[in-house]
Structure 1
Amino acid sequence: MKLKKIHHIAVICSNYEVSKDFYVRILGLTPIREVYREERESYKLDLEVNGQYQIELFSFPDPPVRVNYPEAAGLRHLAFEVENIEEAIQYLTSVEVKVEDIRIDPWTQKKFTFFADPDGLPIELYEC
């Protein structure tokens, strides 16, 4: 077996409209397809990042709260590449998203930072 690339990442949200607004309006991801699955009482929104299908946003009735600290085993965070981290942080703070201080990757010397989606899912910005 040879894996070619990551196809998509699925994110479950607690409030579909709030998370949809966050991922589409604030982060600027492009909706490809939105489906309401009546048998699951669930929305599924396919989103693309820079022309590539990458994120599936799901809603389910009463999903359990994400375990944050200490971190649990499993997916740790999403990471997006940006050209200018200072500009990205300036934009996010202008739309009232709290962003952590910039850190430097000790191996690559590249800048990175974290913020959270409406459900507390950590999202990393990594400067290329």
Structure 2
Amino acid sequence: MQFLKSVHHIAIICSDYKKSKHFYTQILGFEIDREVYREARDSYKLDLSLNGQYCIELFSFPEPPKRTSRPEACGLRHIAFQVEDIEAAITYFKFKGIILEDVRIDEFTGKKFTFFADPDDLPIELYQI
């Protein structure tokens, strides 16, 4: 029997809360559902939605340990977002100061994709649908 229905959210711990909040809301366009400061943990929790769907929990913690994310380390490899027009998306992100990799073609689907990084160097993929 299949119990899983869909992905509920992705949790991300950031090193600079204000910088990451700006990136995910002002550059990627996520909407803030809720923002709370948890005094006992000296930590923020920001709930973010995309097109009305809850997607990301953004956390801050004092002095979080670094995580090796490249090259090909174990763990979460990247998060990916669908776009209808990858060239338009690239133009937008470049205008916002984001450095993107060259566009590649998925060898199995023939679809275009590219990568860039969030403020903590978490790989983010844009995948043209």
Aligned-partner Cα distance in 2 for 1:49–1:107: 27
Q: Is the CA contact (8 Å cut-off) linking 2:42 and 2:62 kept in structure 1?
A: yes
Most deviating of 40-49 and 66-75: 66-75
Alpha-carbon distance between aligned partners in 1 of 2:42 and 2:71, rounded to the nearest angstrom: 31
Runs of 5+ consecutive residues of structure 2 not aligned to the other structure: none
Quick check: 2:69–2:77 contact (8 Å CA) kept in 1? Answer: no
Alpha-carbon distance, 1:115 to partner:
0.2
Contact kept? 2:105, 2:111, Cα under 8 Å:
yes
In structure 2, the partner of 1:27 is 28
TM-score normalised by L of structure 2: 0.96
Name the structure 2 match of 1:92.
93
- Counterpart of 2:113 in structure 1: which amino acid? F
Q: Deviations 1:69-128 (Å, cap 9, x if unpaired)?
A: 223211111100000000000000001100001000000000000000000000000001
Aligned length: 128
* SS of 2:34 mapped into structure 1: strand
Match of residue 106 from structure 1: 107
Question: How do 1:1-128 and structure 2 match up within 5 A?
Answer: 2-128=3-129
The CA distance in 2 between the partners of 1:66 and 1:97, in whole Å, is: 22
Residues in 1 aligned to 2:82 and 2:8: alpha-carbon distance in whole angstroms? 17
Deviation at 1:68, TM superposition (A): 2.6
Root-mean-square deviation (Å): 0.8
TM-score scaled to structure 1, two decimals?
Answer: 0.97
Which aligned runs of 4 or more in structure 1 are off by greater than 2 angstroms? 68-71
Identity %: 64
